Amino acid sequence: MVLSNSLQNYLTDLELSFPVERSLSFVAALQNKHIAKYSFNSLAVVLGEEMPLEVDALSHKIVTRGLGGYCFEHNKLTFELLRELGYEVELKLARVLYNQKKQAPRTHRVTLLKHQASTYLVDTGFGAYGPNAPLLLEVDKEQAIGSETYRIISLSSEKQLDTTEYDVQILKDGAFFTLYRFDLADYSDADCQLAHFFSHKSPNAGFVNNLVISSKSDEIIIALRNHTFMTRINGEEETVLVTTPEALHSRLTVDFGLNIDSAITSHLFERFLAPKLIEPAK
pLDDT for the residue 147: 87
pLDDT more than 90, % of the chain: 88
Residue 265 carries which side chain, given as an amino acid letter?
Answer: T
Q: How confident is the model at residue 234 (pLDDT cuts 50, 70, 90)?
A: confident
SS3 category, 167: strand
- If one counts the domains in the chain, the total is 2
Segments forming the whole domain that contains residue 185: 5-196
CATH classification of the domain holding 80: 3.30.2140.20
Residue 281 in any domain: the answer is: yes
Per-residue pLDDT tens digits for 38-86: 999 999 999 999 999 999 999 999 999 999 999 999 999 999 999 999 9
- Residue ending a domain, among 142, 164, 196, is 196
- Residue ending a domain, among 196, 231, 251, is 196
Residue 102 in any domain: the answer is: yes
147 and 13 together in one domain: yes
Residues β-bridged to residue 229: 224, 240
Q: Please classify residue 115 by burial: count the beta carbons closer than 10 Å to its beta carbon, then call 0-12 exposed, 13-18 middle and 19+ buried.
A: middle
Q: How confident is the model at residue 219 (pLDDT cuts 50, 70, 90)?
A: confident
Residue 204 in any domain: the answer is: no
Q: State mean pLDDT over 116-135.
A: 97
- Residue ending a domain, among 152, 171, 196, is 196
130 and 53 together in one domain: yes
pLDDT for the residue 90: 98
86 and 176 together in one domain: yes
pLDDT for the residue 282: 41
pLDDT more than 70, % of the chain: 96
pLDDT for the residue 280: 58
Please report, for the chain, how many H helices and E strands are present, in that order.
10, 13
CATH classification of the domain holding 256: 3.30.1120.150
Whether the predicted pLDDT of 157 surpasses 60: no
65 and 130 together in one domain: yes
Residue 202 in any domain: the answer is: no
218 and 135 together in one domain: no
33 and 69 together in one domain: yes
User: Hey, CA dihedral for 126, 131, 133, 136, is it positive or negative?
Assistant: negative
**In this structure, what DSSP letter does residue 139 have?**
B
Q: State mean pLDDT over 135-141.
A: 97
Residue 217, φ and ψ in degrees, nearest 5: -125, 180
pLDDT for the residue 281: 45
Among 33, 10, 137, residue whose Cα is nearest residue 85: 10
Among 69, 80, 65, residue whose Cα is nearest residue 11: 80
